[in-house]
Amino acid sequence: MKKLMLALLLAPMLALVSWAQDASFRSDHPEEYTVQKGDTLWDISNTFLNTPWLWPEIWHVNEQIENPHLIYPGDVIYLVYVDGKPRLTRDRPVKMAPGVTDLDPSVRVLPKDDAISTIPLDRVNTFLSRSRVVTEEQLESAPYMLAGPEERLIVGAGDRAYARGDFEGDFRNYGVYRKEERFRDPETGEYLGTHAKNIGAVRLGTEEGDVARVKVTRSMEEVRMGDRLLPSEERSIDPNFYPSAPDDEINALIMAVEGGVSQVGKMDVVMVNRGEREGLLVGNVLAVHKRGETTRDPVTGERVTLPDERAGLVMIFRTFEKMSLALVLEAERPLAVNDKLLNP
C-alpha cells in the first residue's frame, strides 16, 4: 500500500520532470533573468532552452500585455508552471516617481523600436541590401554604367557619371550590382539563380534618350563601367520575427558564403539552395550536418563512411524563389560549403 501511495505521489513529479526535459529546458537554466541592453531573443532563449526555436511554444501569454513577444531591457523573464507545465513569462517592473507611493491604473507605452531583436540585426541588415539572387535575364536587361567623367573607368561616392538602358518608370534610386556566381543545384543541375553583389548606389538625373546622368551616392567598392543598375529596395528586417522549425521537410545544402570565404563561422551569412518554392520562411531554423568522413577499417581494411555529425544552426532571414540567405547562429566547429541543412 505504501509503495502504491508513493508511486501515486511521485508520478506527477516524474511526469513534470520528463515534460521539462522533452521541452528542452537546459539543466542549468535560471529561475529568472533580467533582460539587458544588447540582448537578443536568441541569447535569452539559449539561457533557458537547449532548442531556442521552441521559444514561441513555451511562452505564457499575459493577457494584460498587448504583445507579450515584445521584450525590453529591464524586463524580468521567469520560469513558472502553468497547469503543471513549465512556461516562460515576463514581468515589467514599474518605476514610480520620487515621493509617489500609490500606483493608479495606467498604461506604460514603450516604442516598438526599443524592443530587443530576435538576432543581432546589425549583422544582417547590410546583407539585405547587398545581396540579391536574380536571373541572368534580369541582369542582362538591366541598365548599366556607361562612362565616368573624363572617360574614367572607375568612379566612387560623390562622382557623376553616365548610365545607359531602359530606366523603369518613376524610380530615381538604383543599386549598382556586379554579377557574381551562377548557382546550379548540385544534385539536379537546375539553374537556381545568379548572385548579384551590391557595389553601391546611384541617383538618376536627367535623361536624353537611353543615356542618363547619374550621381554615385554610395560605394563599398569602386563602381566600374558595365556594372548593372537595379531599382533600389527599401528593405529592413522586422526585428520581431521569431525562430521556428520549417513546416515541410527540408534537405538543403550550403551553396556559398557571403564574402567568398570557404570556412563558415558564427554570424556568417550563407546561401542556401532552397527557397520560397520549398516552403522556407523568414525565421525558419535549420540544423547544419557535416558529412561523415571516410576512414579505413583497421580490421577488415575496408573504406567506411562515418555518420554525418550535427555541427550548428542557421536561421533564414531572406528568401527568394529557389534560394535563401541564412545567418549562422551556432557553429560547434567550422562549417563549409556543401554541408547539409536539415530540419532541426
Q: What is the pLDDT of residues 269-300, one digit of tens each?
A: 899 999 999 999 988 999 999 988 899 999 99
What are the Cα distances from residue 333, in Å, to 161, 291, 294? 46, 13, 18
**The cell 528586417 sits on which residue?**
237
Q: At 126, is the secondary structure helix, strand, or coil?
A: helix
Q: Which residue has the cell 566600374?
A: 224
pLDDT for 182: 95
Task: State the Cα–Cα distance between residues 158 and 11, nearest whole angstrom.
Answer: 73
| Separation CA 180–CA 169 (nearest Å) | 27
Which 3 state secondary structure label does DSSP give 199? Answer: strand
- Helix or strand (DSSP H, E) at 312: strand 309-319
Query: Taking a C-beta distance cutoff of 8 angstroms, is the pair 197, 138 a contact?
Result: no
216-244: pLDDT as tens digits: 999 988 999 999 999 987 665 555 567 78
| Residue indicated by cell numbers 541617383 | 203
Q: Evaluate whether 344 touches 136 at the Cβ level (below 8 Å).
A: no
| Calpha distance 274→255 (Å, rounded) | 10
The answer to whether 93 and 74 have CB atoms below 8 angstroms apart is yes
Residue 306, amino acid? L
Q: Supply φ then ψ for residue 146, to 5 degrees.
A: -105, -50
Answer left, alpha or beta for residue 24, where phi above 0 means left and psi between -120 and 50 means alpha: left
**How many other CB atoms are found less than 10 A from the CB of residue 193?**
22
Q: pLDDT tens string for the chain (344 positions)?
A: 544 444 434 433 433 344 444 446 888 888 888 988 888 887 888 888 887 777 777 776 655 555 656 788 888 888 787 777 777 887 776 554 455 455 444 444 455 557 777 776 666 655 555 779 999 999 999 999 999 988 788 999 999 999 999 987 788 999 999 999 999 999 899 999 999 999 999 999 999 999 999 999 999 889 999 999 999 876 655 555 677 889 999 999 999 987 766 678 888 889 999 999 999 998 899 999 998 889 999 999 999 999 989 999 999 988 999 999 998 988 888 899 999 999 98
pTM of the model: 0.75
Grid cell listed for 83? 497547469
C-alpha cell read off for 7:
508511486
DSSP annotation of 221 reads S
260 φ/ψ sector (left φ>0, alpha ψ -120 to 50, else beta): left
Q: Which three cell numbers stand for residue 157?
A: 561616392
Neighbours of 119 (CB within 10 A): 21
Given CA atoms 243, 245, 247, 250 in this order, what sign does their dihedral have? Answer: positive
Q: What burial class does residue 202 get, using C-beta atoms within 10 Å of its C-beta: 0-12 exposed, 13-18 middle, 19+ buried?
A: buried
pLDDT tens digits, one per residue of 118-148: 776 666 655 555 779 999 999 999 999 999 9
DSSP state of 46: H
Amino acid identity for residue 330 in this structure: E
Residue 20: which H helix or E strand, with range? Answer: helix 2-22
